[in-house]
Amino acid sequence: MPKVPEKATKREKEEVVANKKPGETLAEFLASLAESLIVVLFLLTFVLQNFEIPSSSMENTLLIGDHVFVNREQFAPPTRWLGALMPYRQISRGDIVVFLSPEEPGLFVVKRIIGVPGDRIHLRDGAVYRNGEKLVEPYVQHKVANYDPYRDNFPAVPPAEMYGITSQEWIADMASHIEGGDIVVPPNSYFGMGDNRDVSKDSRYWGFIPRENVIGRPMFIYWSFITPPDQYLMRGASDRVGFLAHIALHFFDQTRWSRTLRIVQ
């Protein structure tokens, strides 16, 4: 409570009393807490989704063991009741997106969008050309020294299983999308590639990303933990429990603290 000077005038005393802030009651505190929880639950239910990076295909932008929050609404069709609140927009070239794999049902994948509908894409000696212009891609990593004719000169070399392509549908369908040496992105589809370009299994190997498969955009890394490359394949209960125990023991020394709250771009 503010202290009133002993020699204060009547007016000064009235101003002190008027400016005094009443303390928050227990009921008001609980009401504020409930409002905050409702907002958090709303965001986690309708807007954000947790996603863990499983492979090295997006290094060094995203590392194995990075945990990110994905904005599920930004690329979704606008709704009347959220339209005024959410910054909806179309998927653009350069966006990083999380989507359901066109090749393996139920598998979440993350790639960078290289081509949108109507774009003409080809690679020459590992460099990407879009609509006739060579792209400047400072985020791209080349960590494998070997030359792969299909990977590095796409789509000049016809697809085949010998190049690691397991999608028979893509092998049969790819030729219908080639015009003048370019792969042309069809409507409601996207061409995606990993930043770790030489090891990424992407649209070169399984085709286009259907618009309806897109989940959202990774916003920021909220936690990053050093994780073995094959950990996402360990689906047995004993494997999961064992890794949880490993996390508990090494939470502080194997957490990549410098990546906490890093914006994904």
Q: Among all residues, which ones are annotated catalytic?
A: 57, 111
Separation CA 104–CA 107 (nearest Å): 6
Q: Which amino acid is at 108?
A: F
CB under 8 Å to 249, separation ≥6 — which residues?
none
Strand partners, 199: none
Please say whether the beta carbons of 155 and 90 come within 8 A.
no
3-state helix, strand, coil in the chain (%, to 5): 30, 25, 45
> E strands within 44-107?
48-52, 66-71, 96-100
Quickly tell me which residue has 């990407």 as its tokens.
128
Say how far residue 170 (Cα) sits from the centre of its chain: 25
